[in-house]
Protein backbone atom coordinates (compact mmCIF):
# COMPACT_ATOMS: atom_id res chain seq x y z
CA UNK A 1 0.00 0.00 0.00
CA UNK A 2 1.41 3.37 -1.03
CA UNK A 3 1.51 6.43 1.22
CA UNK A 4 -1.43 8.03 -0.64
CA UNK A 5 -3.45 4.80 -0.38
CA UNK A 6 -2.59 4.59 3.32
CA UNK A 7 -3.79 8.15 3.93
CA UNK A 8 -7.11 7.32 2.24
CA UNK A 9 -7.43 4.06 4.20
CA UNK A 10 -6.69 5.84 7.50
CA UNK A 11 -9.33 8.43 6.73
CA UNK A 12 -11.90 5.71 5.97
CA UNK A 13 -11.06 3.91 9.24
CA UNK A 14 -11.39 7.13 11.24
CA UNK A 15 -14.83 7.82 9.78
CA UNK A 16 -16.07 4.20 9.86
CA UNK A 17 -19.11 3.62 12.08
CA UNK A 18 -20.41 0.48 10.35
CA UNK A 19 -17.57 -1.68 11.66
CA UNK A 20 -16.72 -2.16 15.32
CA UNK A 21 -13.30 -2.29 16.95
CA UNK A 22 -12.76 -5.96 16.14
CA UNK A 23 -13.52 -5.59 12.43
CA UNK A 24 -11.45 -2.41 12.18
CA UNK A 25 -8.49 -4.15 13.83
CA UNK A 26 -8.67 -6.83 11.15
CA UNK A 27 -9.03 -4.18 8.45
CA UNK A 28 -5.85 -2.55 9.77
CA UNK A 29 -4.02 -5.88 9.65
CA UNK A 30 -5.19 -6.45 6.07
CA UNK A 31 -3.76 -3.05 5.14
CA UNK A 32 -0.46 -3.99 6.80
CA UNK A 33 -0.36 -7.27 4.85
CA UNK A 34 -0.77 -5.27 1.66
CA UNK A 35 1.85 -2.73 2.76
CA UNK A 36 4.27 -5.58 3.51
CA UNK A 37 3.80 -7.01 0.03
CA UNK A 38 3.71 -3.82 -2.01
CA UNK A 39 5.52 -0.98 -0.25
CA UNK A 40 8.49 0.17 -2.31
CA UNK A 41 11.70 0.19 -0.24
CA UNK A 42 15.36 0.46 -1.25
CA UNK A 43 16.49 -2.04 1.44
CA UNK A 44 15.44 -3.99 4.52
CA UNK A 45 15.86 -1.21 7.10
CA UNK A 46 13.91 1.21 4.88
CA UNK A 47 11.13 -1.37 4.51
CA UNK A 48 11.03 -1.97 8.25
CA UNK A 49 10.90 1.77 8.98
CA UNK A 50 8.04 2.26 6.50
CA UNK A 51 6.07 -0.70 7.89
CA UNK A 52 6.55 0.57 11.44
CA UNK A 53 5.29 3.99 10.34
CA UNK A 54 2.18 2.46 8.74
CA UNK A 55 1.62 0.32 11.82
CA UNK A 56 1.87 3.29 14.20
CA UNK A 57 -0.59 5.33 12.13
CA UNK A 58 -3.10 2.45 11.96
CA UNK A 59 -2.76 1.62 15.67
CA UNK A 60 -3.55 5.23 16.57
CA UNK A 61 -6.34 5.84 14.05
CA UNK A 62 -9.17 5.06 16.49
CA UNK A 63 -8.06 6.16 19.94
CA UNK A 64 -11.04 4.62 21.80
CA UNK A 65 -10.31 1.17 20.35
CA UNK A 66 -7.66 -1.11 21.80
CA UNK A 67 -7.79 -4.19 19.52
CA UNK A 68 -5.97 -2.47 16.61
CA UNK A 69 -3.10 -1.40 18.87
CA UNK A 70 -2.81 -4.79 20.58
CA UNK A 71 -2.93 -6.84 17.39
CA UNK A 72 -0.57 -4.49 15.54
CA UNK A 73 1.90 -4.69 18.43
CA UNK A 74 1.85 -8.47 18.07
CA UNK A 75 2.37 -8.07 14.37
CA UNK A 76 5.39 -5.81 14.93
CA UNK A 77 6.92 -8.44 17.25
CA UNK A 78 6.95 -10.87 14.30
CA UNK A 79 8.69 -8.57 11.80
CA UNK A 80 12.09 -10.02 12.70
CA UNK A 81 15.40 -9.30 11.07
CA UNK A 82 15.54 -6.74 8.25
CA UNK A 83 18.63 -8.21 6.56
CA UNK A 84 16.48 -10.01 3.99
CA UNK A 85 13.65 -7.63 2.96
CA UNK A 86 11.85 -10.20 0.82
CA UNK A 87 11.71 -12.62 3.75
CA UNK A 88 10.48 -9.79 5.97
CA UNK A 89 7.71 -9.05 3.47
CA UNK A 90 6.58 -12.68 3.56
CA UNK A 91 6.75 -12.95 7.36
CA UNK A 92 4.85 -9.68 7.81
CA UNK A 93 2.08 -10.58 5.36
CA UNK A 94 1.73 -14.10 6.77
CA UNK A 95 1.62 -12.84 10.35
CA UNK A 96 -1.03 -10.21 9.51
CA UNK A 97 -3.25 -12.91 7.97
CA UNK A 98 -2.60 -15.28 10.92
CA UNK A 99 -3.66 -12.55 13.37
CA UNK A 100 -6.78 -11.77 11.30
CA UNK A 101 -7.77 -15.44 11.53
CA UNK A 102 -6.97 -15.48 15.26
CA UNK A 103 -9.18 -12.45 15.85
CA UNK A 104 -12.03 -13.89 13.76
CA UNK A 105 -11.83 -17.13 15.68
CA UNK A 106 -11.72 -15.28 19.01
CA UNK A 107 -14.91 -13.40 18.13
CA UNK A 108 -16.69 -16.64 17.29
CA UNK A 109 -15.50 -18.39 20.45
CA UNK A 110 -16.45 -15.40 22.62
CA UNK A 111 -19.94 -15.57 21.07
CA UNK A 112 -20.07 -19.34 21.78
CA UNK A 113 -19.12 -18.72 25.40
CA UNK A 114 -21.71 -15.98 25.77
CA UNK A 115 -24.43 -18.14 24.17
CA UNK A 116 -23.79 -20.75 26.85
CA UNK A 117 -24.43 -18.13 29.54
CA UNK A 118 -27.72 -16.77 28.21
CA UNK A 119 -30.78 -18.59 29.57
CA UNK A 120 -33.04 -20.32 27.02
CA UNK A 121 -35.70 -18.01 25.60
CA UNK A 122 -34.10 -14.92 27.14
CA UNK A 123 -34.86 -11.39 26.05
CA UNK A 124 -31.50 -9.71 25.50
CA UNK A 125 -31.11 -5.92 25.57
CA UNK A 126 -28.31 -4.26 23.64
CA UNK A 127 -27.35 -1.16 21.66
CA UNK A 128 -25.10 -0.18 18.76
CA UNK A 129 -23.62 -2.72 16.36
CA UNK A 130 -21.06 -5.18 17.72
CA UNK A 131 -19.76 -8.01 15.52
CA UNK A 132 -19.44 -10.20 18.63
CA UNK A 133 -22.97 -9.50 19.82
CA UNK A 134 -24.25 -10.09 16.27
CA UNK A 135 -22.41 -13.46 16.30
CA UNK A 136 -24.14 -14.23 19.62
CA UNK A 137 -27.55 -13.39 18.13
CA UNK A 138 -26.86 -15.58 15.09
CA UNK A 139 -26.33 -18.52 17.50
CA UNK A 140 -29.57 -17.77 19.36
CA UNK A 141 -31.83 -17.15 16.34
CA UNK A 142 -34.73 -19.61 16.32
CA UNK A 143 -34.08 -20.68 19.92
CA UNK A 144 -36.91 -18.62 21.39
CA UNK A 145 -34.60 -15.76 22.37
CA UNK A 146 -35.50 -12.20 21.44
CA UNK A 147 -33.80 -8.81 21.49
CA UNK A 148 -34.40 -5.27 22.66
CA UNK A 149 -32.28 -2.82 20.67
CA UNK A 150 -31.73 0.91 21.20
CA UNK A 151 -31.41 2.89 17.98
CA UNK A 152 -27.98 4.34 18.94
CA UNK A 153 -27.97 7.94 17.83
CA UNK A 154 -26.69 9.86 16.05
CA UNK A 155 -26.02 7.43 13.19
CA UNK A 156 -28.37 4.62 14.21
CA UNK A 157 -26.04 1.60 14.42
CA UNK A 158 -28.83 -0.06 16.45
CA UNK A 159 -31.13 0.23 13.45
CA UNK A 160 -28.50 -1.59 11.36
CA UNK A 161 -28.40 -4.31 14.04
CA UNK A 162 -32.22 -4.55 13.87
CA UNK A 163 -31.94 -5.07 10.09
CA UNK A 164 -29.47 -7.91 10.70
CA UNK A 165 -31.70 -9.44 13.39
CA UNK A 166 -34.60 -9.28 10.94
CA UNK A 167 -32.44 -11.17 8.45
CA UNK A 168 -31.53 -13.75 11.12
CA UNK A 169 -35.19 -14.27 12.03
CA UNK A 170 -34.56 -13.07 15.59
CA UNK A 171 -37.59 -11.14 16.91
CA UNK A 172 -36.64 -7.73 18.26
CA UNK A 173 -38.08 -4.60 19.78
CA UNK A 174 -36.46 -1.36 18.60
CA UNK A 175 -36.69 1.75 20.83
CA UNK A 176 -35.04 5.15 21.20
CA UNK A 177 -31.95 5.38 23.39
CA UNK A 178 -33.99 7.44 25.87
CA UNK A 179 -36.67 4.74 26.11
CA UNK A 180 -34.20 1.90 26.77
CA UNK A 181 -34.51 2.27 30.55
CA UNK A 182 -38.24 1.63 30.42
CA UNK A 183 -37.93 -1.13 27.81
CA UNK A 184 -35.39 -2.91 30.00
CA UNK A 185 -38.27 -3.89 32.27
CA UNK A 186 -38.94 -6.65 29.70
CA UNK A 187 -35.31 -7.83 29.42
CA UNK A 188 -33.61 -10.79 31.14
CA UNK A 189 -30.03 -9.77 30.44
CA UNK A 190 -28.09 -6.87 28.88
CA UNK A 191 -25.23 -7.72 26.51
CA UNK A 192 -22.86 -5.35 24.73
CA UNK A 193 -19.57 -5.53 22.88
CA UNK A 194 -16.59 -3.33 23.74
CA UNK A 195 -14.08 -1.03 22.15
CA UNK A 196 -11.69 -1.31 25.08
CA UNK A 197 -11.55 -3.20 28.37
CA UNK A 198 -9.58 -0.90 30.66
CA UNK A 199 -6.90 -2.23 33.02
CA UNK A 200 -9.28 -1.54 35.95
CA UNK A 201 -12.08 -3.58 34.31
CA UNK A 202 -14.06 -0.58 33.08
CA UNK A 203 -15.46 -0.81 29.57
CA UNK A 204 -15.30 1.73 26.76
CA UNK A 205 -18.13 1.19 24.30
CA UNK A 206 -20.64 3.16 22.24
CA UNK A 207 -22.28 6.10 24.06
CA UNK A 208 -25.30 4.86 26.00
CA UNK A 209 -23.58 1.75 27.34
CA UNK A 210 -23.05 3.37 30.76
CA UNK A 211 -26.78 4.21 31.02
CA UNK A 212 -27.72 0.67 29.94
CA UNK A 213 -25.42 -0.79 32.60
CA UNK A 214 -26.94 1.49 35.26
CA UNK A 215 -30.47 0.45 34.27
CA UNK A 216 -29.51 -3.25 34.21
CA UNK A 217 -28.11 -2.98 37.74
CA UNK A 218 -31.18 -1.05 38.91
CA UNK A 219 -33.51 -3.66 37.43
CA UNK A 220 -31.47 -6.55 38.81
CA UNK A 221 -30.52 -8.17 35.50
CA UNK A 222 -26.96 -9.18 34.53
CA UNK A 223 -24.82 -6.85 32.40
CA UNK A 224 -22.43 -8.85 30.20
CA UNK A 225 -19.66 -7.62 27.93
CA UNK A 226 -18.76 -10.01 25.09
CA UNK A 227 -15.47 -9.37 23.37
CA UNK A 228 -12.28 -10.90 21.99
CA UNK A 229 -9.49 -10.66 24.55
CA UNK A 230 -7.46 -8.36 22.27
CA UNK A 231 -9.55 -5.46 23.51
CA UNK A 232 -8.03 -5.70 26.98
CA UNK A 233 -5.82 -2.64 27.24
CA UNK A 234 -2.25 -3.31 28.45
CA UNK A 235 -1.21 -0.75 31.05
CA UNK A 236 1.85 0.24 28.99
CA UNK A 237 -0.34 1.37 26.06
CA UNK A 238 -1.21 4.48 28.05
CA UNK A 239 -4.55 6.16 28.62
CA UNK A 240 -7.35 5.86 26.11
CA UNK A 241 -9.24 8.80 24.59
CA UNK A 242 -13.00 8.97 24.02
CA UNK A 243 -13.38 9.77 20.34
CA UNK A 244 -15.51 12.75 19.42
CA UNK A 245 -17.17 12.79 16.02
CA UNK A 246 -18.58 15.62 13.91
CA UNK A 247 -21.35 17.43 15.87
CA UNK A 248 -23.14 17.96 12.53
CA UNK A 249 -24.18 14.28 12.78
CA UNK A 250 -26.82 15.37 15.32
CA UNK A 251 -28.53 17.43 12.63
CA UNK A 252 -29.09 20.45 14.86
CA UNK A 253 -28.99 23.94 13.28
CA UNK A 254 -26.34 26.34 14.65
CA UNK A 255 -27.62 28.20 17.73
CA UNK A 256 -25.72 31.10 19.35
CA UNK A 257 -24.32 30.05 22.72
CA UNK A 258 -25.20 26.37 22.22
CA UNK A 259 -22.35 23.89 21.83
CA UNK A 260 -23.22 20.55 20.24
CA UNK A 261 -20.91 17.65 21.12
CA UNK A 262 -20.85 14.15 19.71
CA UNK A 263 -18.73 12.12 22.13
CA UNK A 264 -19.10 8.72 20.54
CA UNK A 265 -18.13 6.46 23.44
CA UNK A 266 -18.53 6.32 27.18
CA UNK A 267 -16.93 4.52 30.10
CA UNK A 268 -18.86 1.96 32.13
CA UNK A 269 -17.14 1.46 35.50
CA UNK A 270 -16.07 -2.08 36.38
CA UNK A 271 -18.45 -2.15 39.36
CA UNK A 272 -21.41 -2.18 36.89
CA UNK A 273 -20.02 -5.02 34.76
CA UNK A 274 -21.16 -8.46 35.92
CA UNK A 275 -18.94 -10.37 33.54
CA UNK A 276 -16.56 -9.89 30.62
CA UNK A 277 -16.91 -12.92 28.32
CA UNK A 278 -13.99 -13.53 25.94
CA UNK A 279 -12.77 -16.43 23.81
CA UNK A 280 -10.78 -17.55 26.85
CA UNK A 281 -13.77 -18.20 29.11
Known catalytic residues?
195
Given 40, 169, 220, 239, the residue binding a copy of itself (CB under 8 A): 169
Tell the burial category of 192 from Cβ atoms under 10 Å away from its Cβ (0-12, 13-18, 19+).
buried
Question: Applying CB under 8 A, does 178 fall inside the site for a copy of itself?
Answer: yes
Given 48, 95, 151, 228, the residue binding a copy of itself (CB under 8 A): 151
Nearer to a copy of itself, 48 or 266 (CB): 266
Nearer to a copy of itself, 113 or 262 (CB): 262
Question: Applying CB under 8 A, does 176 fall inside the site for a copy of itself?
Answer: yes
Give me the phi and psi of 31, to 5 degrees please.
Answer: -65, -40
49 vs 120: CA distance, rounded Å: 52
Nearer to a copy of itself, 40 or 169 (CB): 169
Give me the phi and psi of 257, to 5 degrees please.
Answer: 85, -5
Question: Applying CB under 8 A, does 153 fall inside the site for a copy of itself?
Answer: yes
Give me the phi and psi of 226, to 5 degrees please.
Answer: -110, 125
Question: Applying CB under 8 A, does 65 fall inside the site for a copy of itself?
Answer: no
Nearer to a copy of itself, 17 or 53 (CB): 17
Question: Applying CB under 8 A, does 127 fall inside the site for a copy of itself?
Answer: yes
Question: Applying CB under 8 A, does 214 fall inside the site for a copy of itself?
Answer: yes
Contacts (Cβ under 8 Å, ≥6 apart) of 269: 202, 210
Neighbours of 248 (CB within 10 A): 11
Neighbours of 50 (CB within 10 A): 17
Contacts (Cβ under 8 Å, ≥6 apart) of 70: 25, 230, 231, 232, 233, 234, 237
Question: Applying CB under 8 A, does 41 fall inside the site for a copy of itself?
Answer: no
Question: Applying CB under 8 A, does 166 fall inside the site for a copy of itself?
Answer: yes
**124: three-class secondary structure by DSSP:** strand
Question: Applying CB under 8 A, does 79 fall inside the site for a copy of itself?
Answer: no
Given 62, 206, 231, 232, the residue binding a copy of itself (CB under 8 A): 206
Given 162, 192, 194, 277, the residue binding a copy of itself (CB under 8 A): 162
15 vs 100: CA distance, rounded Å: 21
**125: three-class secondary structure by DSSP:** strand
Binding-residue pattern over the window 216 to 255 for a copy of itself, x denoting contact by CB under 8 A:
--x-----------------------x-------x-x--x
Question: Applying CB under 8 A, does 257 fall inside the site for a copy of itself?
Answer: yes
Q: How far apart are the first and last CA of the chain?
A: 37
Residues that bind a copy of itself (CB under 8 A): 127, 150-154, 159, 162-163, 165-166, 169-183, 206-208, 210-211, 214-215, 218, 242, 250, 252, 255-263, 265-267
Amino acid sequence: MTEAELAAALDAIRRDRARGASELARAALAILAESAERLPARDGPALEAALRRHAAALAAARPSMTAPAVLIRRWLDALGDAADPEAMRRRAADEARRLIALSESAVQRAADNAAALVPAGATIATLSLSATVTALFSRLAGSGASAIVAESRPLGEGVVLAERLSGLGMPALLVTDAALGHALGEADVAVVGADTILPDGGVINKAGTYLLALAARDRGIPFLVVTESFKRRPTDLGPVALEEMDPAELGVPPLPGIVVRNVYFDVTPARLVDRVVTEED
